[in-house]
């Protein structure tokens, strides 16, 4: 097989696998259950073999990959409808800490050691086990930690302060490209945007690294090729 054919074959498998991972959903990209992990590894192995061995035809290579994809989608649907199958294939969360005390029996059963536990707690900003109300080992191996009420950060609701709802800032320019849909969603136009840029001595959209509009009307603008962020943030 010549170089051109090898490149074309590799790109074909690359495109097919991207499509299949997209079809299988975001769950395959994020938290993987044991079943998802097995399927992902198998698909990777099946895709690697025909790229290394040109004697394997595309059809022979793609049939098992499509079969695994269908099996994954089918099992995902079954686990969505059946609690029994969901528990069988993905397991159940395990409480590791309750009331500031480690549950040793659960640690042994899940073969979860103290070093891993302390590391996960540190990653979540917790250094003292007695500050933990509940720590749950999720089915994907992540540790969910709920601190005791006395150790949680104070939020406005704790002191009776009412706050306005907040949303996500709208990115109007990203790397020199205007996001037309966000601009329309904000009820603004290109002329308004250019006027805002000219107030900041910016003549071209291409000179902007990022421009975002928050929910209270502040426009943040940062030029390209600057070591420090622009401090110019003006209200509409």
Specify the pLDDT at position 148.
Answer: 92
Residue finishing a domain among 62, 87, 112: 87
User: For residue 236, what pLDDT is reported?
Assistant: 45
Q: How many domains does the chain have?
A: 3
- Structural domain contains residue 180: yes
CB within 8 Å of 36: residues ≥ 6 apart: 27, 28, 72
Say whether pLDDT at 58 is over 70. Answer: yes
Whether 136 and 184 map to the same domain: the answer is: no
Whole-angstrom distance, CA of residue 203 vs CA of residue 197: 7
Q: Is residue 158 part of a domain?
A: no
Query: Which pLDDT score is estimated for 220?
Result: 94
What's residue 46's pLDDT?
A: 80
How far apart are the C-alpha atoms of 230 and 233, rounded to whole Å? Answer: 8
**Domain endpoint, select from 45, 71, 87:** 87
Average pLDDT, the chain: 82
Where does the pLDDT of residue 231 fall: very low under 50, low under 70, confident under 90, or very high at 90 and above?
very low
Check whether residue 100 and residue 81 sit in a common domain: no
Which residues span the domain enclosing 109?
A: 94-151
pLDDT at 192: 93
Domain assignment present for residue 159? The answer is no
What mean pLDDT comes out for the span 135-160?
Answer: 86
Please indicate, yes or no, whether residues 70 and 99 belong to a single structural domain of this protein: no
Q: How confident is the model at residue 13 (pLDDT cuts 50, 70, 90)?
A: confident
Across 34-43, 86-95, 223-232, least confident range: 223-232
Which pLDDT score is estimated for 133? 95
Confidence (pLDDT) at 34: 65
Going by pLDDT thresholds of 50, 70 and 90, the confidence category of residue 24 is low
pLDDT above 80 for 35: no
pLDDT digits (tens, 9 = 90+) for 63-80: 888 888 888 788 778 878
107 inside domain: yes
Q: Are residues 208 and 179 in the same domain?
A: yes
| Same domain, yes or no: 199 and 174 | yes
Domain assignment present for 9? yes
Where residue 210 sits, what CATH number does that domain have? 3.30.240.20
Domain end (from 151, 180, 199): 151
- pLDDT category at 21 given cuts 50, 70, 90 is low
Claim to verify: residue 20 and residue 57 sit in the same structural domain: yes
pLDDT at 30: 47
| Residue 10: inside a domain | yes
d(CA 32, CA 141): 9
> In this structure, are 12 and 28 located in the same domain?
yes
pLDDT, tens digit (0-9, with 9 covering 90-100), for 161-205: 887 777 788 999 999 999 999 999 999 999 999 999 999 999 999
Position with higher pLDDT, 61 vs 125: 125
130: in domain = yes
- Same domain for 70 and 9: yes
Is 163 a domain residue? Answer: no
Distances (CA, A) of 49 to 4, 10, 52, 114, 196: 18, 11, 5, 40, 55
């Amino acid at each position: 097989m010549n170089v051109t054919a090898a490149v074309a074959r590799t790109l074909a498998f690359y495109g097919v696998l991207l499509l299949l991972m997209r079809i299988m959903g975001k769950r395959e990209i994020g938290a993987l259950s044991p079943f998802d992990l097995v399927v992902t590894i198998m698909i990777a192995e099946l895709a690697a073999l025909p790229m290394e061995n040109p004697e394997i035809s595309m059809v022979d290579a793609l049939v098992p990959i499509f079969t695994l994809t269908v099996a994954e989608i089918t099992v995902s649907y079954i686990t969505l409808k059946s609690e029994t199958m969901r528990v069988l294939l993905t397991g159940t969360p395990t409480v590791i800490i309750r009331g500031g005390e480690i549950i040793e029996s659960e640690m042994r059963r899940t073969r979860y050691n103290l070093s891993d536990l302390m590391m996960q707690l540190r990653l979540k900003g917790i250094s003292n086990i007695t500050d933990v109300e509940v720590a749950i080992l999720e089915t994907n191996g992540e540790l969910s930690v709920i601190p005791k009420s006395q150790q949680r950060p104070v939020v406005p609701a704790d002191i009776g302060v009412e706050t306005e709802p907040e949303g996500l800032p709208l990115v109007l320019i990203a790397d020199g490209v205007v996001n037309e849909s966000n601009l329309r969603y904000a009820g603004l136009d290109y002329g308004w945007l250019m006027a805002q840029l000219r107030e900041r001595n910016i003549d071209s959209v291409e000179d902007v690294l990022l421009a975002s509009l928050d929910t209270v009307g502040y426009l943040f603008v940062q030029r390209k090729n600057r070591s420090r962020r622009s401090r110019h943030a003006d209200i509409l």
